[in-house]
Structure 1
Amino acid sequence: MKRQLIWFRQDLRIQDHSALWHATQEGQTIAFIALSPQQWRKHHDAPIKINFYLKQLEQLQQQLKKLNIPVIIDIIPEWKNLAAHVLQHCQNLNIENIHANIECGINELQRDFQVQQLLNQHGHDLILYHDRSIFPVGSIRNKSNQPYQVFGAFKKYCYDQLSISIPQSYPIPAPQNFLDIEHKIKHDIPNLQQLGFEPNHFNSTWQVGENHTHTVLDNFIEYQVKDYQTARDFPHLEATSQLSPYLNLGILSIRQCLNALFRQQHGHFHIDNIGQQTWLDELLWREFYQHILFDFPRVSKNLPFKINTQYLKWRNSPEDLNAWQQGKTGIPIVDAGMRQMLKTSWMHNRVRMIVAMFLSKNLLIDWRLGEQWFMQHLIDGDLAANNGGWQWCASTGTDSVPYFRIFNPISQSQKFDENGDYLRKWLPEIAHLDAKTIHAPYAKNPNLQLDYPKPIVDLKMSRLRAIEAFKHLTA
């Protein structure tokens, strides 16, 4: 029986891994990882996200060693050179087929098509599995056989399907017979500097490893999910799951999330409380954006989902953009969120919406510049979710907020950080202000002396400016 190659991408785990399980059922299996630093730069991946990937790769390599699965680690700067490398491994190691999980971005799909073509010419096959989403991308269609473009209808379809059955996880493969090929392959894991990136001081908040990830998941389900519907909106509370980095790199699967969510119901689709339903809906938003990415590839090409909004006249203001990037806009909730991201490589989801809408509406700066900045700094930067969220805030995407409905960041701050606890944590220069003043320090006293910038924009004026800019777009 010929050997199989399991190609790991953004799915660095051995538990509930579709491609890994199928590969090992076909015969002796060898693992393959391609590190592509030039490609990551093109996709604006954050150095901390790459560092997180490399640290988890160390864990994966140890886990695979226990299964007697050798690991090939190649540095292939750009994906255009990948196909030839994969073919060479097939020929050198007597490999029959390659197994991998589908990735939905247009560059990823083109990469896999090129690999598939070359392998087919030489009698091999690239076999792809649906693993990153609950339902296979391209499979969810409305009565007109078209992809859903509105989340509500998409969610209803998913609820109906989940009520029939919740997808079950794949078991960990049994250890295979030892295969001595270490002398034939590269298996050293480089560090960030060796890949051409600046050294990164890894944030210890984000531990790697499947065991740690499942502890985080189990604790969230047991202690926090019940109150998730209300608590998730308050940025000073640690009330969100904080599982996004693990889902993004595939240390955790979406099926494992569902199985944990319905564990008390013995795997049956039965919702006990509003918190459980709210987190499920968040998982389905992630699902929705994965399907949008696949069905509407233009969103992978730096284009808006709503075609007419590509003609919107955005402002070119490098000064305002820089102030937003560095958390120096003079709007405390915006600045606190941006500084949280710069410091921790993560930002609370409610605050992500506030800062995104501030950039795209109040500053009327192209949302794509914000999308890129997020990808360059977030440990959980995911193309589908990041693009979907930004386009929702900018009113250019599917199911997006109406252009005339614009968050007032001061009101949002007063509502969700009433006592200013979140602001004080990230903005020490105004931490001494009382709970009423801290949300808008200069509102009632423009001459207040602070080591903190005054607002770079008038919120009322900028709101009207944004509405006017959108109003003149043709449908």
Structure 2
Amino acid sequence: MARLVWFRQDLRLLDNDAVLQACQHANEERDKVFFIAMPTLQQYAQHNWSPLKWDLYQRQLNSLGADLAELGHSLEIIKLDWFADCENAIAEFCRTNDITDIYFNREYVFDEIKRDERVTQKLEHNLNIKVHSFDSNLLVPPECIKNGKGEYYKVFTPFFRVWRKYIREHGVAAPYNRASVKSSGVANFSAVNFSLPTISSDIPEADIPILNDSEAWPIGEALIRRNAQRFVREQVQDYKARRDTPAVEGTSKLSAYFEIGALSPRVAAHLLQKASPEFPEGLDDGAHTWLSELAWREFYQHLLFHEPRLAKGEPFQAEQAAFPWRNDRDEFLAWCEGCTGFPIVDAGMRQLNETGWMHNRVRMIVASFLVKDLHINWQWGETYFMQRLIDGSFPANNGGWQWSAGTGTDAAPYFRVFNPTSQGEKFDPDGHYIRKWVAELKDVPNKYIHNPHAYLREQTKQAGMFADDVKSERLYPKPIVDHKKARESFIQTFKQVKNNNERD
């Protein structure tokens, strides 16, 4: 007899309930434990996983295989194309290896839920194999937070209050150590390397190289955990004060590891718990704010679980599907390339294109600009982000874009439109972030850094250059839109769509 652990986006041994439960019950019954992973490459590509995220995932998967081998276990990696292939592949593995029980951690998006339902149906009803699922990728399972009417929360603030209450009442279990996973066997692991296929997209393609090498992001469970410990020990107290300043290292940069499951939210919460005996209350401002970011991550996963239509491209506010987007291709490509003429927007897009990551405050600025200044469908931006980000999370990315567009739950009011110039002045006052990513502006004085065009024209005249020669390294494109007019137009159109729906 044997037991099987199925890894998905939970590439860790520490604080992984599927691993712990399989190993504990195997020891009691003297069963063998098998470990498998089934990367579904066509499916991941269709879900717009970036090559950079896939590379990080694959490196961590290989690291996990090496960790298991060190503990006497083997990890078998079975390459598939689609989620629909999983049920037969797992069933065959179970028949071949006399599996009696399978263990995995739940995922909460529509396609993943359907995949797991098909696998469970086949194993339990056709093969009499017991299926055990767990929620160690969340602090609070989505079924456990309801309002007085038994409904899920559509607004973050009351969700956060009840989410903390659940944690306070149920506690946060201390992560167990690797000894509980150790086997007396001897195993080897051979690393694998697969490439994601290319799947055509409905949005215009930008002629910008797509990164596929994640070496700048360290992998290995122990190292990732130490980085989390260092952040909580040395930086979290300043998180609230520094997180909105893109020129400083004020954020944890752990999001990519949460996304692939190399770090669990319970490990993060346990680190915060050490700072306050009343946890999750009693934290200082920085720690409390970081905890709220963990809650935002879970809020969006809960939302996708309760509203599967969001995974099918629908806005949460259904009437906004009728919004008449302009969808100007050239303006979209200018946004992608960081050539809009708005320095903070261009700095953010160039950071994304060159590193596969963007500061969160700047993500909100560039999203607002695409939707509310250029009047381009938020789904174009959502897709572009997913195709580039190393930490691309469908729930968080979808939720963030719908928040910015005013189409989602808990959305920014449609009349709240970020002014990209004043946002730059507020969050990058001296232009350090802008100069780092927009080379054309590296010599512009602070006084002009957020509105550099008049200064650059004067410099161009003095140098005897043509002011319209935007291809020159010393010049910078003119703003592609009048922010004031674009803002007024967006608000008027959005309001009209809402009014039309209310009359209907």
Q: Please give the range of the TM-score, normalised by the shorter of the 2 chains.
A: over 0.9
* Matched AA of 2:183: Q
Alignment match of 2:286 (pick from 268, 275, 298):
275
Aligned residues of 1:5 and 1:98 also touching (Cα < 8 A): yes
Residue aligning to 1:176: 183
Correspondence list, 1:10-25, <5 A: 10-25=9-24
* Matched AA of 1:249: I
Kindly provide the CA deviation profile for residues 431-470 of structure 1, in whole angstroms up to 9, marking residues without a partner as x: 1001121112126776664422111111101101110110
Determine the C-alpha separation between the residues in 2 that align with 1:285 and 1:126.
30
Determine the C-alpha separation between the residues in 1 that align with 2:303 and 2:79.
31
Aligned residues of 1:16 and 1:170 also touching (Cα < 8 A): yes
After the TM superposition, which of the residue ranges 463-472 and 204-213 deviates more from structure 2? 204-213
Correspondence list, 1:248-267, <5 A: 248-265=259-276
After the TM superposition, which of the residue ranges 437-446 and 412-421 deviates more from structure 2? 437-446
Alignment match of 2:476 (pick from 452, 455, 461):
452
Aligned residues of 2:7 and 2:35 also touching (Cα < 8 A): yes
Give the direction of change, closer, same or farther, for the CA distance of 1:468–1:41 in structure 2 (3 Å limit). Answer: same
* DSSP 3-state at the match of 2:15: coil
Determine the C-alpha separation between the residues in 1 that align with 2:242 and 2:309.
35
Determine the C-alpha separation between the residues in 2 that align with 1:204 and 1:434.
35
Q: Does 1:42 align with 2:66?
A: no
* DSSP 3-state at the match of 1:472: helix
Q: Does 1:190 align with 2:192?
A: yes
Residue aligning to 1:470: 494
Determine the C-alpha separation between the residues in 2 that align with 1:137 and 1:68.
35
After the TM superposition, which of the residue ranges 119-128 and 248-257 deviates more from structure 2? 119-128
Determine the C-alpha separation between the residues in 2 that align with 1:177 and 1:305.
51
Determine the C-alpha separation between the residues in 1 that align with 2:175 and 2:279.
18
Give the direction of change, closer, same or farther, for the CA distance of 1:136–1:471 in structure 2 (3 Å limit). Answer: same
Correspondence list, 1:321-360, <5 A: 321-360=332-371
* DSSP 3-state at the match of 1:160: helix
* Matched AA of 1:8: F
- Percent identity reads 38
Stretches of structure 2 lacking an aligned partner (at least 5 in a row): 27-31, 199-208, 461-473
Give the direction of change, closer, same or farther, for the CA distance of 1:200–1:403 in structure 2 (3 Å limit). Answer: closer
Residue aligning to 1:9: 8
Aligned residues of 1:192 and 1:199 also touching (Cα < 8 A): no
Residue 144 of structure 1: how far off its partner (Å)? 0.3
Correspondence list, 1:125-164, <5 A: 125-164=130-169
Residue aligning to 2:233: 222
Determine the C-alpha separation between the residues in 2 that align with 1:136 and 1:196.
33
Residue 69 of structure 1: how far off its partner (Å)? 1.8
- Normalising by structure 1, what TM-score? 0.95
Q: Does 1:109 align with 2:108?
A: no
Determine the C-alpha separation between the residues in 2 that align with 1:433 and 1:444.
8
* Matched AA of 1:411: S
Determine the C-alpha separation between the residues in 2 that align with 1:107 and 1:214.
30
Determine the C-alpha separation between the residues in 2 that align with 1:106 and 1:342.
29
Give the direction of change, closer, same or farther, for the CA distance of 1:437–1:200 in structure 2 (3 Å limit). Answer: closer
Correspondence list, 1:232-247, <5 A: 232-247=243-258
Residue 32 of structure 1: how far off its partner (Å)? 0.6
Give the direction of change, closer, same or farther, for the CA distance of 1:358–1:62 in structure 2 (3 Å limit). Answer: same
Determine the C-alpha separation between the residues in 1 that align with 2:436 and 2:387.
23
* Matched AA of 2:239: Y
Residue aligning to 2:85: 81
Residue 199 of structure 1: how far off its partner (Å)? 9.6
* DSSP 3-state at the match of 2:299: helix
Residue 143 of structure 1: how far off its partner (Å)? 0.2
Residue aligning to 1:166: 171
Determine the C-alpha separation between the residues in 2 that align with 1:283 and 1:306.
25
* Matched AA of 1:123: N
Residue 162 of structure 1: how far off its partner (Å)? 2.5
Correspondence list, 1:199-214, <5 A: 202-214=213-225
Residue aligning to 1:379: 390
Aligned residues of 2:237 and 2:284 also touching (Cα < 8 A): yes
* DSSP 3-state at the match of 2:326: coil
Alignment match of 1:406 (pick from 417, 424, 442):
417
Residue 213 of structure 1: how far off its partner (Å)? 1.0
* DSSP 3-state at the match of 1:261: helix
Aligned residues of 1:262 and 1:270 also touching (Cα < 8 A): no
Residue 190 of structure 1: how far off its partner (Å)? 3.0
Aligned residues of 1:104 and 1:294 also touching (Cα < 8 A): yes
Alignment match of 2:34 (pick from 24, 30, 36):
30
Residue 230 of structure 1: how far off its partner (Å)? 1.5
* Matched AA of 1:129: F
Give the direction of change, closer, same or farther, for the CA distance of 1:201–1:102 in structure 2 (3 Å limit). Answer: closer
Kindly provide the CA deviation profile for residues 200-230 of structure 1, in whole angstroms up to 9, marking residues without a partner as x: 5524431001121122111111111111111
Calculate the aligned-residue CA RMSD, in Å: 1.8
Residue 192 of structure 1: how far off its partner (Å)? 4.2
* Matched AA of 1:389: G
Residue 318 of structure 1: how far off its partner (Å)? 0.7
* DSSP 3-state at the match of 2:19: helix
Residue 179 of structure 1: how far off its partner (Å)? 7.0
